[in-house]
Amino acid sequence: MKNYLNLSKPAVFLSVLMLLFMMSCKKNEGGPDFKEPKALEANLLESAELFASTLKERGSDQTFEIEDIIRKDATLQVKVKGGGSEESFKFIWDGRIQESYPMGIMLVLKYDNHNGDFDKNKEFLINVNLQKILGDVGDTKDFHFSVLNGSKKQQKNLNPDGTISDE
C-alpha cells in the first residue's frame, strides 16, 4: 500500500498542474486574432494574415482586371481596368521573399470600394515602390514579381527579363 501512495502523489500533482493549465487557456470566441497590417507606404501593407484572407474572400461582384505589369527602376506599375479611384487600391505583401533564383515576391492587389464608385470601364495605373519591400536585399531587376488579383482568380507574373506570364 505504501508504494501505491508514493506513486499517486506525482500523478495527482501532474493532474492538478495540467488542470490548472487547461483552465488558464481560453478559446478566442471573436474569430481569428489578426495583427494590424504594417503600412510600408500609403498603398502598400505587410500582413501575412491579410494576404491570406484577401485570397480566400475573392469573388465579389465588382471585379477588376489586371491588364499589364511594368517595372520602371524601383517602381512596379500595374495597369488595371475597373475601379473608382487609384487610392482605393492597396498592395498586400505577405512578408516573404522567395530566395531561390529567380528571387520572388508575391503581392495581392485589393480594391476597397468604400466610396461606392466602382466603374468596370475605368482604367488606372497603380504604382508601388518596390524598395519599401526589398530595402537593401537586392536589385529589383533580379526579382520575379507575382501580382494576384484580390477580386477574382487572376495572377500576372513579371519575370526578371521583363516578360509577363499569366496563371
Looking at residue 41, its pLDDT comes to 93
Domain boundaries, the chain: 39-166
Per DSSP, 98 falls in state B
Place 33 in a pLDDT band, splitting at 50, 70 and 90: very low
Instruction: CATH number for 39-166: choose from 3.40.50, 3.40.190, 2.60.120, 2.60.40.
Output: 2.60.40
Question: In the structure, what pLDDT confidence band is assigned to residue 27 with cuts at 50, 70 and 90?
Answer: very low
Given a cut of 90, is residue 34 above it in pLDDT? no
Q: How far apart are CA 102 and CA 127, in angstroms?
A: 22
Give the torsion through C-alpha atoms of 121, 127, 133, 137, to 10 deg. 130
